[in-house]
Amino acid sequence: MERKFNKQPKLHIKTGDTVLVIAGDDKSKKGKILSVDRAKRRAIVEGLNMVTKHIKPTTNSPQGGIEKKEAPIHISNLKLVDPKTGDATRIGRKKNEDGKLVRYSKITGEVING
């Protein structure tokens, strides 16, 4: 069952963030986010949740074969890593001096760039 949102939801993670996996086969592993699917609330993390894909022989790859690639992970199973301490942290949002909404670490209070 897919959720239908009128607006794209705000997420606590963005492309390029370093995250910690908190549930699943890759629990307690860290990786960098390659892409985020906001509609499905899933993210692809570099080197994590690897699946085996069987490639059929084509003109581009006449050999075919087996390929390993990253599969999406639900964002509820990911926690952002605080760049200052290196530990997993929760995220808050607040307005900075310019009135722009920025993300900050709930543990250190440090603003997270990106």
Confidence check: pLDDT of 1 > 60: no
Q: Alpha-carbon distance 103 to 89, whole Å?
A: 12
Residue span of the structural domain in which 44 resides: 17-83
The pLDDT, as a whole number, for residue 74 is 95
Tell me the two tokens of residue 45.
Answer: 């993390």
Provide the domain count of the chain: 1
Is 109 within a domain? no
Q: Where residue 55 sits, what CATH number does that domain have?
A: 2.30.30.30
pLDDT of residue 84: 86
Give the pLDDT confidence score for residue 10 in this predicted structure.
81
Residue 26 domain flag: yes
Q: Is the dihedral of CA 48, 49, 52, 53 positive or negative?
A: negative
Tell me: the pLDDT tens digits for 15-51? 999 999 999 999 999 999 999 999 899 999 999 999 9
Rounded Cα–Cα distance for residues 114 and 94 (Å)? 14
64 lies in a domain? yes
Compute how many other C-beta atoms are within 10 angstroms of the C-beta atom of residue 112: 20
> Does a structural domain hold residue 110?
no
For residue 96, pLDDT beyond 70: yes
Query: pLDDT tens digit string along 46-80?
Result: 999 999 999 999 998 889 899 999 999 999 999 99
| Residue 46 falls inside a structural domain | yes
Fill in the DSSP letter of residue 113: P
The answer to whether position 65 is within a domain reads: yes
- Predicted confidence at residue 3, as pLDDT, reads 63
Residue 111: inside a domain = no
Distance, CA of 74 to chain centre? 8
Tell me if 113 is assigned to some domain.
no
**pLDDT given at position 29:** 95
